[in-house]
Amino acid sequence: MKISLLTDAPRHNLALMKLSAYHKERGDIIRLNQPLWPADKRYASILFEWNADKFLADEYGGPGYNFEPLGIECRPDYGLYGLDYSLGYTFRYCFRNCQFCKVTRMEKDRRHYSIWDFHNPTFKKICLLNNNTFFDPRWRETFEEIWDADLTMIDENGYDLRLLDDDKADALHRTKWATPLHFAWDRISDESEIIRGLKLLETHHLRTTSNGVYVLIGYDTTREEDLHRCQIIDDHGLTPYPMPYVFNDYTRRFKRFMNLHYYRQAPTIEKAWKEYFH
């Protein structure tokens, strides 16, 4: 059989990687993102809602398509995307239930998994897709497996500063990283917890401008609150990365302004903002 795998995911798609492995074991021919290829069966895994009607397939799934799961549980086909690192979940759920986030509605599985459920032992790097690793009661087991296998971690989703304590910060410091560490500050009401977490990063020698904090903007904060959060992050030695919930004139300008790091030339980010746009 000829199997067509379609997605709008910009980097990789775990569901399609598992489908690819499943069908290749049965001798099927696989093609990725070739919509005109005359396939016998087509799967579409949609990440963004606005792309839900742009794919012609026999089976649909993904966050952009009514949160329907797509695929089968098996080891991924890393060759589909030419990856040289393992990719998967050791814990999928997040208990935050943030209104701006799909995860709690989409992910119902609260089980812990071993990295050996998906890790390719020939790889020396691993990427966890966990939505909130530190909510896993068995989070330390995950890190111990990674340390014992002498793996280097790739950080894509970041870590929750509000859950950070000395043990978790020490685990992050002990781990080898192929990419900078990322954290997030979404709600202004979390300020005290975020600051406590930022101080822990400094105590455990994780304070560096290569590590960053995603800052949700364009949802329920004011411009002054956005500047305030970015300033606190910068004061603690990390780089703020604005993440627009909606794209409008302000969020585009603010994201561009912060990403240019122009603010580092001024005494405060607020002063740099005023000078840059006035």
Q: Residue 103 has what pLDDT?
A: 64
- What residue type is 44 in one-letter code? A
Q: Specify the amino acid at residue 203.
A: T
Amino acid in position 40 = D
Check residue 243 and give its pLDDT: 95
Paired tokens of 167: 């043990």
How far apart (Å, rounded) are the C-alpha atoms in residues 211 and 80? 30
pLDDT at residue 51, as a whole number: 87
User: What pTM does this model have?
Assistant: 0.90
Among residues 232, 227, 224, the alpha carbon closest in space to that of 201 is found at 232
Q: What is the pLDDT of residue 98?
A: 67
DSSP codes of every residue in the chain: -EEEEEE--SS--HHHHHHHHHHHHTT-EEEES-TTS--SEEEEE-SSGGGTTS---SEEEBTTTTTB--S-SS---GGGTT-SSEEE-S----S---TT-SHHHH--------GGGT--TT-SEEEE--S-GGGSTTHHHHHHHHHHTTPEEEESS---GGG--HHHHHHHHHSEESS--EEEE--GGGHHHHHHHHHHHHHTT---TTSEEEEEESSS--HHHHHHHHHHHHHTT-EEEEEESS--HHHHHHHHHHHTTGGGGSSSHHHHHHHHH-
**Angle at the Cα of 28 from the Cα atoms of 25 and 3, rounded to 5 degrees:** 125
Residue ranges of the chain with pLDDT lower than 70?
66-69, 98, 100-106, 278
Tell me if 169 sits within 8 A of 200, measured CB to CB: yes
Q: What is the reported pLDDT for 49? A: 83
CB neighbour list of residue 184: distance below 8 Å, 6 or more residues apart: 158, 160, 161, 213, 214, 215, 216, 243
